[in-house]
A and B are shown apart, each in its own frame.
Chain A
Amino acid sequence: MRTSQRTRLRTTAAATLLAAVALSGCGRDDGTAADTEAKEVSAGKASGEITVWALGAEGEQLGEIAADFEADNPDATVKVTVIPFDAAHDKIATAIAAGETPDVSLVGTTWLSEFAATGALDPTPTDLIDSSKFFEGSWGTTDVDGTSYGAPWYTETRLVYYRKDLAEKAGVTPTAGWSQDDLKAFAKGMQDNGGAKWGISLQPGGAGSWQTYLPFAWQNGAELVDGEEFAFNTAPMREALDYYASFFSEGISPTDLAEGGLESGFINGDIGAFVSGPWHMGILADQGGEGFADKWALAPMPQEETGTSFTGGGDLVVFKDSENRDTAWKFVDFLTQVPQQQKLYELVGSLPAVESAWDSGELASDPLLKAFGDQLQDAKSAPAIATWEEVAAPLDDAIEQVSLGASDAEEALANAEGKANSIGFGN
């Protein structure tokens, strides 16, 4: 029909005009998105209701600690909602988009700068929360360009888990202040003489492998950021990557471990060592069975210029749109007090981000925990940059390529640096 053609033209024209009008309304002005001025919090007891989002199975336990807060502040109510870990990032992002944020939320340390860039986070009131009581690496995760958003809640860092019995059999032992070469020799020793199939298991690329690799680069003195640009293709980074990849090329570390293969391999003696955080203590206790606890121990990160490890954990943030900002911040402050930090450890096993919480109780006496506490004194986090997650992906790719022998360190890192810089810092 002739008319349908004309109608179609008219409809298309109208639609294009509408789209043009809609888009013409767009335009970014130069106002800064993130607020940098911290406002004060009133004194006295907290009141009113706040909603708090906690993550994953551990989040279930927050209710208990919240009850203590309510006991202390009879006029206040805390409503805890647990959200799944896997999709938490998307949920928080969409909540910000629609203005449906809670008062307080737990966020992963690598997400904080990204959310801060949206302007949705409230800067930390410096009169309430004292930054010096936290581990430096932990506080660093909340610091974006000089302004802090939120407070660290719990932390973690990475150590070398190793089979004591296999090491003994091989006649090798880790020593405080050992070098990267010492670590490699140690692993090789367990393989050659200790009966292990693999000396140590490292992550050969893939999501998150940067967390295992970067400590070695940091130990060499690498700085990831140079002014306004990323600096991946530097000598310390290359040396660290060559060192990392050599574990695979020399057959000390497997490249194709199955899921769950790490734990079972370590337990049955195929794997002599691996690098991980405090959560594996619980996993090994669960799966290792009777008497396994005597067979393994922890060793610190090797020392070159420094003995730096990676630190992550969780931060608490308060949202700008919160209707009860005072109580929200008081609750956050409550959670960073020593008794609550220790209680968190008891309930969930997460390590306190507050240094003095380590001065008493199990955290001070248990040698394994003490090892983590000591390492926390020298631990770095990912740069607090909004685009870090995206930038880390090319870095993971570089690690994968070199570990699997598909590229050499210089080429891979140069590539990754190029991609990282085209992504930029996200402001």
Chain B
Amino acid sequence: MTTTTRPEPLAVVAATEPPRPRRRGRATVGEATAQPWIYVVLTGGLVLLVGPFLWMLLGSFRPDRELKQVPPSWLPQDPTLDNYRTLFTELDFPTFFFNSAVVAIAITLGNLVFCSMLGYALAKLSFPGKRVIFALVLGTLMVPGLVTLVPLFVLVSNLGMVNSLPGLIFPFLAGPFGVFLMRQFIQSLPDELIQAARIDGAGEWRIFLSIILPLCKPALATLGILTFLTSWNNFLWPLVVAQSEEKYTLPVALAIYSRGENSSNYGLLMAGSVAIIIPVLAVFLILQRHFVQGIAMTGIK
């Protein structure tokens, strides 16, 4: 159970060296065609990796009893839709899904906007206190998450945001990880672009919107995927903040219904886990082309 609420940092580069000139050659792949044995090895590795996911998927169609057999079997002996039936009828699935979606999307959008703004400021503008801000952002990124749970909850309670969607959203709208990512990326963009635009008389906001942001698509896609993933799967904070079931998110609801005091309903847990994963995979699939490019940029810097 990951109790941290921030995505793992992609780049912890504190260096302020000037960006390396990027090679303008075509990024090419090694040889023309791959040897067949590479396919074999990779597929073998893939099978190993996809295993648990397959087990989860298959398991969601099996009755709970079957899943608890030791040793576990792979193929369903008695396939059933009961788990999904329970998931969608006994649980208030639409409400939980809605809450999870609203919270994850809001946090993702917020981070995309705020982090790119500050990232740009840190990367391309100069103003006093810049270093302090960056150090602060860096520092909080390395603090293990659990320890701030109680003070944060007390704060949120004093602000009257307990048991509300804003209470789930606000604490994570300004994520230090996003600032990092965007700063790294934007730093590698050439200064000349900005200066030229300024000379042409463009306002700062316009420079940001029409020049910087379009060039940042890969980094934004990366940030989008990772922020969405973490917010969607977040368990501990939504549990602590919610006081009534209408405000539960999917991970919290799943934990309730699949765990009793002395027993667990594995069938329901598998079905729920599959249902939870689907939006995340969808977001990943859609954005993953940009993703690869994105990490390349920040990695190379």
**A/B contact in complex, CB under 8 angstroms:** yes
Interface residues, chain A, with chain B CB atoms under 8 Å away: 4, 11, 51, 55-60, 79, 81-87, 90-91, 94-95, 97-100, 102, 258-261, 263-265, 277, 279-280, 282-283, 286-287, 314
Given known A-B contacts A100-B162, A263-B68, A94 and B150 have beta carbons under 8 A apart:
yes
A57 x B243 contact (CB < 8 A): no
Please report the C-alpha to C-alpha distance between residue A85 and residue B150 in the assembled complex, in whole angstroms: 19
Closest 8 CB pairs of A and B: A98-B157, A84-B255, A57-B260, A279-B262, A264-B70, A84-B256, A260-B70, A98-B154
15 residue pairs bridging A and B, Cβ less than 8 Å apart: A56-B256, A57-B257, A81-B245, A85-B261, A86-B259, A90-B236, A90-B239, A95-B243, A97-B154, A98-B158, A102-B243, A258-B70, A260-B70, A263-B68, A282-B263
Q: Which residues of chain A have C-beta atoms less than 8 A from B65's C-beta?
A: 286-287
Task: Assess A57 versus B68: contact at CB under 8 Å? Given A90-B236, A97-B153, A283-B263.
Answer: no
Which residues from chain B contact A286 at a C-beta distance below 8 Å? 64-65
Check: B252 CB closer than 8 A to any chain A CB.
yes
Decide: A279 near B261, CB < 8 A? Known: A11-B132, A91-B239, A97-B154: yes
Residues of B within 8 A of A59 (CB): 256
Give the A-B contact count at a CB cut-off of 8 A.
96
| A81-B239 contact, Cβ under 8 Å, with A56-B259, A100-B157, A260-B70 | no
Report the contact-size class of chain B (Cβ under 8 Å from the partner). Answer: 20 to 34
Q: Is B149 interfacial (CB-CB < 8 Å)?
A: yes
Q: B260 — which chain A residues lie within 8 A by C-beta?
A: 56-58, 85
Q: B197 to chain A: closest CB distance in Å?
A: 28
- Interface positions, chain B 239-291, Cβ under 8 Å from A, are 239-240, 243-245, 252, 255-263, 265
Sample of 19 further A-B pairs with CB below 8 A, known A84-B239, A286-B64: A57-B260, A58-B261, A82-B256, A83-B239, A84-B256, A87-B239, A90-B239, A95-B243, A98-B156, A100-B163, A260-B70, A263-B68, A264-B68, A264-B69, A265-B70, A279-B262, A282-B263, A283-B262, A283-B263
Contacts of A98 in B (CB 8 A): 153-154, 156-158, 162
Determine whether the beta carbon of B259 is less than 8 Å from that of A85.
yes
Give the CA-CA distance A159 to B2 in the complex, in Å.
Answer: 36
* Given A11-B132, A100-B162, also A94-B240 (CB < 8 A): yes
Chain B hits for A94, CB < 8 A: 149-150, 153, 240
A90 & B259 in contact (Cβ 8 Å cutoff): no
How long is the Cα–Cα vector from A261 to B70 in the complex, in angstroms? 6
The distance in angstroms between the C-alpha atoms of A282 and B264, with both chains bound, is 12
**List of A residues within 8 angstroms of B158 by Cβ:** 98
| In the assembled complex, B206 has its CB within 8 A of some CB on chain A | no
Set A55, A91, A265: member contacting B240, Cβ < 8 A: A91
